[in-house]
Amino acid sequence: MSKQPANKTTTTPPSSLAFEMSKPPSVPTAMRLETTCIKPYDHNPRHSENPEYDRIKASIRADGMDQPLVVTCRPGETDYIVGAGGNTRLHILQTLYQETGDERFQWVDCLFKPWNHETDVLLAHLRENDLRGGLSFIDKAQAVLDAKQLLEQEMGIDSLSQRRLETLLRERGYSLSHGLISQMGYAVHTLLPAIPQALQSGLGRPQAERIRALDRAARGIWKKRDLGDDETFDAMFAVLCKRYDGLEWDLELLRTAIETEIAEATEVSIHTIRVELDAH
């Protein structure tokens, strides 16, 4: 169980670095803030614990922060939030202060950046996570889809095409190919409901692409043999994916199950269906 902070007199930072929480600066500004006064970004792309958490914690415990924490503040609010990566480092600082009561972890040097748009903050977190590594494919895909939704809200439109989204993201300094955006959409909308354990345990883009290729090939055979419409195939595909969801994903198990399903429905040999799948 963590310790409560020790009762000691708080050291106030120099007045030149202290700012009223009710009046955030209008230009980028260096400041020093109490870690307890900063909130994590609530649209943080990372949904699971940072795999480098223990290493980062040990480094901060020994040497402190190696660079300022970027913070910002939404219009009409007084709470500072993490503005460009750093949610893990903030949590570690807050945890270390709770555990030790050491003032080294009570205060943190920050760079305040004025608010622009919600998408700018989300994309700043994505860029920072790309630089530091360790963000799973599904976390990144969900964040890109969140950015799409935020852009649609900010622009007052119902839906952005993938091509338009690609352009807007590139203009904001986050370049993704049209093909990757399409693959991310498939992962979030089709795979995540069916194989959440596999995705959250690290199933990446190459595996998602192979699953999608199997999906397309099997769907083609399904329609060619008049086994039902897209909705019927989708239901069958989802059921079989869920059957084999787990930490150790094996595409061959899913493929064999689909081949068996089609072979039994058409009363032909599974070998025949496998040959057709290979051809697709």
pLDDT in tens, 71-108: 999 998 888 999 998 999 999 999 999 999 999 999 99
**Residue-wise pLDDT tens digits, 37-57:** 999 999 989 887 788 899 999
The percent of residues above 70 in pLDDT, for the chain, comes to 92
What proportions of the chain, in percent to the nearest 5, are helix, strand and coil?
55, 10, 35
Strands 69-72 and 107-112: parallel
| Averaged pLDDT of the chain | 89
Give the Cα separation of 193 and 203 in Å (integer): 14
3-state secondary structure of 111: strand
CB-CB contact of 86 with 70 (8 Å)? yes
pTM: 0.82
**Residue-wise pLDDT tens digits, 23-39:** 778 899 999 999 999 99
Structure-token pair, residue 107: 């205060």
Residue 10 pLDDT more than 80? no
Q: For residue 22, what pLDDT is reported?
A: 54
Across 154-164, average pLDDT? 93
